[in-house]
Structure 1
Amino acid sequence: MPFLLKPTLPAGSLSAHTQPILEIDDRLTLRPWREDDAPVARAAFSCPEIQHWHTRRIDSDAEALEWVARWDTGWRDETEANWAIARDDQAIGQVGLRGIDLMSAVAEVAYWLLPEARGAGVTAPAVRVAAKWCFDTVGFHRLFLKHSQANMASCRVATRAGFAPEGTLRGAMLHMDGFHDGHLHARLRTDEGNDDGSA
């Protein structure tokens, strides 16, 4: 059954290009994940707090390598895009796009940070830089994110990154302790401040 509309983003909007390295500041970048980052992914998904909100764990080095390799495959397939948040080139966290929809130019944003890297105001600037690239370089129309209403740290990141709250998704998110109401945030390419990446 043919579509009545042309995709807002054509096929190849991501995969035809090398995944970029995006500068956050003089020490922090967003860069593609590498095989030697696998121990960082394993450490992150061994963290009880990250497990609580993400409901996954990594049990071996082999699983960690497979996880990192999957992120590279997602770029080529244009289904997801994942960057390591790197301080002095050492991975300390992640910003990713999930469920990329080229037809509508929409994607869901996700992020996490290692416990030892928290408290320095790293994640929100990383999300802002990724969003600016998505809007200015690729041409995404809308980015959104969801978090449990109990995850106020994620809510603060979303707000500081310029993602406006849009409402509550009742009982929409399953976590370790059951279903949670979710908060929905979003940012449009046409939102004020997107021309310079500010929020």
Structure 2
Amino acid sequence: MCSGSWSEAAAGEDSRTVEGGSELCADATLLREDGLPPPRGDRAVGRGHTVPDHSQGVGMTGPVFPPWPATSPVRGRLRLRPVEMRDSAMARELSTDPYVSLTGSLPSCATECEAKAWVRRQQMRHPEGAGFSFAIAIRADDGAIGHCGLWLKELGEGRATAGYAIVPSRRNQGFASEALALLTEFAWTVPGLRRVALHIESWNVASLRTAENAGYVREGVLARHQMIGGEHRDMVLYAAIRQTGLAR
């Protein structure tokens, strides 16, 4: 029986999939197994598709899409690193939370094949220009305990959104707040970015607390803002504003 309860999560990962092979468990040749971003330049994805090199600013009218960080962001107990194939176990544990499948592309109660397909999708987020998809890892052993993302669809306007999730077995230990604070610190290294927003359902008290502990400020409620589980739901809006490199 696969079941669980959601906490310490603000928003799911960007749910876009790579066309033509996102669910092919055996097709690992499109992406590097070590979790590092693919080489720059157009590269094939699936059957006959290419992903433009956004890091060089192709097709962008605003800021140049930022490169992958040369050094992994670290803070306290945590490190943000690329999502790797070994993180499929973390993905499978996340999938036991029924809310995860409603807010992202990871299926509920994911099989190993589905978990690896999810890993491959996360590895493509940066080269396809969606943003940064990180595994949240313990610095002491580099083991993944969750996932977070900085999504840059509105980078040209100086805006980003963030999402985070901790596996059920490691919740209620302060990791979510620490990871969000670290992700926000990294966000301020992105040229032109001035605002990071979170969208959280009002019932998700643990995630509301996570946002506040990481320095985010509540700005209001967006009525029927986000489609979750087949219905438009109200979302509490939190934001951090770039000033001196800290949440306002």
Structure 2: which 5+ residue stretches go unaligned? 1-59
- 3-state SS in 1 of match to 2:157: coil
The aligned counterpart of 2:81 is 31
Is 143-152 or 48-57 further displaced after alignment? 48-57
The aligned counterpart of 2:178 is 125
Offset at residue 130 of structure 1 (A):
1.2
Q: 2:241 aligns with which of 185, 188, 191?
A: 188
Letter in 2 for 1:31: R
Letter in 2 for 1:106: R
Structure 1: which 5+ residue stretches go unaligned? none
Instruction: Please give the per-residue CA displacement for 1:8-40, whole angstroms capped at 9, x wherever unaligned.
Output: x213x13xx456411122x42111110111121
Q: Is the 8 A contact 2:137 2:146 kept in 1?
A: yes
- The 5 A counterparts of 1:1-199 are 7=62, 9-11=63-65, 13-14=66-67, 17-18=68-69, 20-25=71-76, 27-51=77-101, 57-58=107-108, 59-87=110-138, 88-176=141-229, 178-190=231-243, 194-195=244-245, 197=246
Offset at residue 100 of structure 1 (A):
2.9
- 3-state SS in 2 of match to 1:171: strand
Q: Is the 8 A contact 2:137 2:145 kept in 1?
A: yes
Cα 1:106–1:48 change in 2 (3 A) is same
- 3-state SS in 2 of match to 1:70: helix
Count, aligned residues: 186
Aligned partners of 2:206, 2:70: CA distance in 1, in Å? 28
Aligned partners of 1:109, 1:172: CA distance in 2, in Å? 16
Cα 1:102–1:52 change in 2 (3 A) is closer
Offset at residue 77 of structure 1 (A):
2.1
Q: Is the 8 A contact 1:45 1:56 kept in 2?
A: yes
Aligned partners of 2:220, 2:73: CA distance in 1, in Å? 30
Provide TM-score, normalisation by structure 2: 0.66
Letter in 2 for 1:123: A
Offset at residue 50 of structure 1 (A):
3.6
Aligned partners of 2:232, 2:192: CA distance in 1, in Å? 34
User: Of Structure 1 and Structure 2, which has the larger fraction of its residues in helix?
Assistant: 1
Aligned partners of 2:230, 2:124: CA distance in 1, in Å? 32
Provide TM-score, normalisation by structure 1: 0.81
Offset at residue 49 of structure 1 (A):
4.7
Q: Percent identity?
A: 26
Cα 1:103–1:177 change in 2 (3 A) is closer
Q: Is the 8 A contact 1:109 1:144 kept in 2?
A: yes
Aligned partners of 1:6, 1:178: CA distance in 2, in Å? 34
Aligned partners of 1:70, 1:142: CA distance in 2, in Å? 25
Letter in 1 for 2:225: A
Aligned partners of 1:151, 1:168: CA distance in 2, in Å? 14
User: Of Structure 1 and Structure 2, which has the larger fraction of its residues in strand?
Assistant: 1
Aligned partners of 1:6, 1:96: CA distance in 2, in Å? 23
Cα 1:29–1:38 change in 2 (3 A) is same
